[in-house]
């Protein structure tokens, strides 16, 4: 799939799970043949996969199903098993054939291997992933997804990550979901993923360890570790699965949408569970758009004034006021004026529309009696401001592009905020942000 932009907006307001993510990526245009080749290489038995079209609340969606044989079924999508203690009305079952259009895009993929595990530890999962036919980038993403799960389970049970034995998430259907999500995402060639929040329900859910509140501890720990945001859905049920949360945690590069953008393509993935709140995940390929006229962005204005009798306090205050009012840049240059008076040359860079306010501030707060104005043409690199989520928290970053190369500049305020919160050196925080951007957003 080709596009001039590779920015994905993942609308997970109605929840997220592994199979929903895979379905949304397939609907967005991921290559099914590439996925099928990867699935055929998984060294495990007892499962088939099926890709079909379904309707959720009348909306046509893609559905990705991992169908387990009797020995491997873990009841993950059986509503009565999951919610029997509090749900007494009918729900659609895992295989709702009334809504599947089997003549459309229907694919069954069988496996007959001999490496069955009831429960797998972290190393077992990593061993399986090394044998799957996928690119190094897809393999790295799949490992990253499972590392979030391992750390979250370890925290929940008070164990080291390598001691955790996966139950639901280690089951083969979740391994297939993670592999499929990683392969499809890698195939789409997306560099940036925006996830404003994940929608989660209320109540309790039954799992391997008993009845737990929603979100379950593993999901809560993943969301906490990655700094993901919750949006509360006023309905009983688990809308965010641990696998879904881990995929979101591994993919997210920002939680903030651009102020103005176009949607180039949309993929909709169906969830398996029946809720009043439609259980779908939307994956939208978007293209940010400049809000100002590109011709105007090449023209800038410089205001300057010689000031020889304002105090340092006044000038410091004026700089703050000018920047707060929207000046692109403000600086002072030491100069000598007539009669050998030490003074400062005030320079302000701003847009034409900001000139009146800039001049008002200068005249009001300094002793200046005149301001020179110069219109200047300029050459600017393509740039955008993004917000990234990384190991130390949230940071604003300026991204510039020159001859196809992307350059990242962490914003000063974000660096000092994290440095103070974490009691770290400024340079260490700066390098951590830069390293994250270079590795994840390339």
Residue owning tokens 């490992």: 143
pLDDT digits (tens, 9 = 90+) for 133-173: 999 999 999 999 999 988 888 888 787 777 776 655 457 88
Distance CA 41, CA 132 (A): 5
CA angle 260, 298, 324 (to 5 degrees): 65
Strand partners, 212: 205
User: Structure tokens of 129?
Assistant: 């992933």
Q: For the chain, which domains are there?
A: 7-83+119-288 (no CATH), 294-377 (3.30.70.1380), 383-441 (no CATH)
Q: Are 247 and 18 in contact (CB under 8 A)?
A: yes
Per-residue model confidence (pLDDT) at position 291: 56
**Mean pLDDT across 235-255:** 92
Residue with tokens 């379905």: 23
Band (pLDDT 50/70/90 cuts) for residue 297 is low
Nearest to 20 by CA among 153, 180, 140: 180
**Residues 206 and 226 sit within 8 Å (Cβ to Cβ):** no
Q: How confident is the model at residue 430 (pLDDT cuts 50, 70, 90)?
A: very high
Q: What torsion do the CA atoms of 60, 64, 69, 70 make, to the nearest 10 degrees?
A: -60
φ, ψ for residue 100 (rounded to 5)? -90, 130
Length of the chain, please? 442
Residue % of the chain over a pLDDT of 90: 52
Write down the mean pLDDT value for the chain: 83
321-347 mean pLDDT = 92
The residue among 18 and 166 whose pLDDT is bigger is: 18
Check: CB of residue 190 under 8 Å from CB of residue 259.
no
Residue 176 · residue 137 · CB < 8 Å: no
Q: What is the pLDDT of residues 35-93, one digit of tens each?
A: 999 999 999 888 889 999 999 888 899 999 988 876 656 544 433 334 434 443 333 33
Q: What is the Cα Rg of the chain in Å?
A: 27
Indicate whether 99 pLDDT > 50: no
Q: What is the pLDDT of residue 173?
A: 82
Asked if pLDDT for residue 12 goes beyond 70, the answer is yes
* Maximum average pLDDT range among 125-139, 160-174, 270-284, 297-311: 125-139
């Amino acid at each position: 799939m080709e596009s001039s932009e590779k920015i994905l907006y993942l609308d997970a307001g109605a929840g997220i799970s592994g199979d929903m993510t895979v379905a949304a990526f397939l609907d967005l245009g991921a290559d099914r043949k590439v996925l099928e080749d990867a699935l055929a290489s998984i060294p495990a038995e007892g499962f088939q996969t099926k890709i079909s079209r379904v309707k959720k609340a009348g909306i046509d969606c893609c559905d990705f199903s991992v169908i387990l044989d009797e020995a491997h079924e873990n009841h993950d999508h059986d509503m009565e098993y999951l919610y029997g203690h509090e749900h007494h009305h009918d729900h659609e079952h895992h295989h709702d054939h009334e809504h599947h259009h089997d003549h459309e895009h229907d694919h069954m993929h069988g496996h007959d291997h001999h490496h069955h595990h009831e429960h797998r530890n972290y190393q077992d999962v990593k061993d399986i992933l090394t044998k799957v036919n996928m690119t190094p980038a897809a393999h790295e993403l799949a490992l990253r997804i499972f590392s979030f799960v391992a750390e979250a389970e370890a925290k929940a049970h008070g164990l080291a990550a390598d001691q955790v034995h996966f139950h639901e998430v280690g089951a083969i259907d979740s391994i297939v979901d993670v592999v499929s999500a990683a392969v499809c995402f890698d195939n789409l060639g997306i560099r940036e993923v925006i996830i404003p929040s994940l929608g989660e329900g209320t109540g309790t859910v039954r799992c391997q360890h008993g009845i737990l509140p929603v979100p379950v501890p593993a999901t809560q720990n993943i969301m906490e570790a990655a700094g993901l945001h919750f949006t509360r859905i006023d309905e009983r049920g688990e809308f965010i699965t641990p696998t879904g949360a881990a995929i979101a945690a591994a993919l997210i590069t920002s939680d903030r949408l651009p102020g103005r953008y176009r949607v180039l393509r949309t993929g909709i993935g169906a969830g398996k569970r029946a809720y009043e709140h439609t259980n779908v995940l939307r994956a939208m390929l978007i293209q940010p758009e400049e809000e100002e006229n590109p011709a105007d962005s090449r023209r800038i204005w410089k205001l300057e004034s010689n000031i020889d009798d304002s105090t340092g306090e006044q000038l410091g205050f004026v700089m703050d006021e000018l920047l707060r009012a929207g000046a692109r840049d403000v600086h002072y240059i030491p100069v000598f004026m007539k009669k050998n008076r030490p003074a400062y040359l005030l320079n302000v860079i701003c847009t034409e529309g900001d000139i009146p306010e800039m001049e008002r501030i200068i005249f009001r707060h300094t002793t200046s009696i005149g301001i020179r104005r110069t219109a200047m043409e300029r050459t600017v690199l393509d740039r955008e401001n993004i917000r990234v989520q990384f190991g130390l928290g949230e940071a604003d970053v300026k991204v510039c592009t020159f001859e196809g190369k992307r350059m990242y500049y962490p914003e000063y305020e974000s660096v000092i905020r994290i440095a103070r919160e974490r009691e770290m050196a400024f340079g260490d925080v700066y390098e951590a942000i830069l390293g994250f951007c270079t590795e994840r957003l390339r």
